[in-house]
Amino acid sequence: MRLRFAPSPSGHLHVGNARTALFNWLLARGAGGTFILRIEDTDVGRSTRESERAILEDLRWMGLTWDEGVEVGGDHGPYRQTERLHVYRAHVVELLSRGAAYRCFCSPGQLDADRQAALRDGRAPKYAGRCRGISRDDARRRIEHGEAAVVRFRVPAHRDVVFQDIVRGEVKFSTDVIGDPVLVRSDGVPAYNYAVVVDDALMGITHVIRGEDHISNTPRQLLLYEAFGWTPPAFAHVSLVMGPDHSPLSKRHGATSVKEFRDRGYLPEALANYLALIGWSPGEGEELLPLDELARRFRLEDVGHSAGVFDEEKLAWVNRHYLKAAAPARLAALTAPFLQAAGWLGEATPEDEGYLEQLVPVVAASVDRLDQIPSRLAFLFDYDAARALARPEIRAEAEAARPVIEALAAELAPGSSLIDKGSFRAMAGRIREKTGQKGKALFHPIRIALTGEPDGLELDIAVPAMERGAQLSASRLRRIPSAAQRAAAFRAALGGPPAPSDVEG
């Protein structure tokens, strides 16, 4: 079994195309077949190497490595269409000499006029066939005189092209609705429908899995296989990925590219696992599986033909599963760029790495995506007592809980350290005894004073985290104030009468 993914490098990898790549990869891997990556860059105006590089990077990021293709090589190369022009040229000569293709000299103006006329008369606007009858000798003479020409394929009249699509069942097109397609443009660059057939045939592709937007191209391609005397591959046209309104997922719906989901902090295994679930299921209640297990279970016959809606809620659910399963060091490393973007981290030192390795997994257990982690850690790096107290609800609560705030500041004399749960709880116990407050009336004022926020991580995790952070010595993290510094700053910002203990002391 030989499968390929053949992206056009004219933009970022859309998640719908990533899913197409994934289905090809799953089938190849599950069947012990070969997965090939070919770059279809014949649209020279829109293709860029930069976009090609980005697509390769996104595929590798998702774990979709290829056995043959650009950058890895193989026996059927080159794998970039602009490096295969000689191959397309040789094969078009063959079609021309057999009369299966012909030169067309129609100007763009002429083609447009024919099109308008067809539309006016209610006919299908297909190529009118003006140049079909030009003899090979005449065509050669006109070319020698410098006239520009394209090569068109001669579509046989009044025939049905029928094929069994693995996903959609029998598909039938009448050749009467198909105008003679352009195979090679006047500048010698091949058109998609032609290059794809030559490549799939010469690369020995056995199964073509692609988006259903290509289904109307398939009869043209099948006619070309027939003209060359080649056996066509099996075709499977998978439904497009839709937005919630059932129109193809596009910018209007929000993020569409693998890059965007990656930048939001979805893990690669989560995105890949989720994409496999659009239109296919590995089994009831068994949706969360690693790629190799998905490959073992994947069957093209089980892919549904109805449109799959991209459900970011479900992607988040899958991501949460993988965030909980990820190794601490990996989570810390993946989170570092988000902290850098927030301006809280330079180049992480080994000490920072150790600190983040302890901290990040705790926070990651309660977010959908890594990009939500900075806001959960703002209490560490962005603590500002005055700013917190400028919030009316925090000021009101602090005023009402003044005894707790005072006791906290007194307990947390400079140099004190609540480096673990036990010492934090012991201190809370002492404040309870001093003030008679307990439960929420005790802990919530402590929370707002030490974190500057009304909610967040459990205090017996958050407080040791700030204490450890305050003790970092070889760090490129933004300075983290200690609990004692916070308690003092909060009490100072609260203002008002000094605590009785201060008066006595």
Q: Which of 9, 35, 40, 463 binds ligand GLU (CB under 6 A)?
A: 40
Say how far apart CA 145 and CA 139 lie, in whole Å.
10
35 vs 322, beta carbon nearer ligand GLU: 35
Residues 99-118 close enough to bind ligand GLU by CB under 6 A:
none
Q: How far is the CB of 7 from ligand GLU (least distance, A)?
A: 5
Query: Considering the rule CB under 6 A, would residue 279 count as an interface residue with ligand GLU?
Result: no
Angle at Cα 51 formed by Cα 45 and Cα 52, nearest 5°?
A: 100
Q: How far is the CB of 196 from ligand GLU (least distance, A)?
A: 5
Q: Is the preceding omega at residue 78 within 30 degrees of 0, hence cis?
A: yes
44 vs 413, beta carbon nearer ligand GLU: 44
Query: Considering the rule CB under 6 A, would residue 214 count as an interface residue with ligand GLU?
Result: yes
Residues 369-398 close enough to bind ligand GLU by CB under 6 A:
none
Q: How far apart are the first and last CA of the chain?
A: 84
Residues 7-26 close enough to bind ligand GLU by CB under 6 A:
7-8
40 vs 397, beta carbon nearer ligand GLU: 40
- Taking CB under 6 A as the binding criterion, the range among 1-9, 136-144, 373-381, 442-450 that sits at the site for ligand GLU is 1-9
CB half-sphere exposure, 303, CA atoms < 13 A: 32
- In degrees and rounded to multiples of 5, residue 161 shows phi and psi of -100, 120
- Give the C-alpha distances (Å, rounded to integers) separating 86 from 69, 71, 89, 225, 412: 18, 20, 5, 19, 78
Detail the DSSP E strand segments found in 178-330.
182-184, 207-211, 234-238, 241-242, 308-309
Say how far apart CA 24 and CA 3 lie, in whole Å.
6
Contact string (CB under 6 A) for ligand GLU, positions 184-213, x = contact: ------------x-------------x---
Instruction: Tell me the DSSP string of 230-262.
Output: PPPPEEEEEPPEE-TTSSB--GGGS--BHHHHH
Q: How far is the CB of 177 from ligand GLU (least distance, A)?
A: 20
Beta bridge partners of 172: 162
Number of residues binding to ligand GLU, judged by CB under 6 A: 7
- Taking CB under 6 A as the binding criterion, the range among 2-10, 169-177, 289-297, 389-397 that sits at the site for ligand GLU is 2-10
DSSP code of residue 32: T
Q: How far is the CB of 139 from ligand GLU (least distance, A)?
A: 30
199 vs 406, beta carbon nearer ligand GLU: 199
7 vs 69, beta carbon nearer ligand GLU: 7
Say how far apart CA 205 and CA 442 lie, in whole Å.
69
Q: How far is the CB of 214 from ligand GLU (least distance, A)?
A: 5
Q: Which of 213, 271, 244 is nearest to 15 (CA)?
A: 271
What is the set of active-site residues? 251
Q: How far is the CB of 40 from ligand GLU (least distance, A)?
A: 4
Q: Which of 2, 3, 6, 101 binds ligand GLU (CB under 6 A)?
A: 6
Say how far apart CA 25 and CA 182 lie, in whole Å.
31
Binding site for ligand GLU (CB under 6 A): 6-8, 40, 196, 210, 214
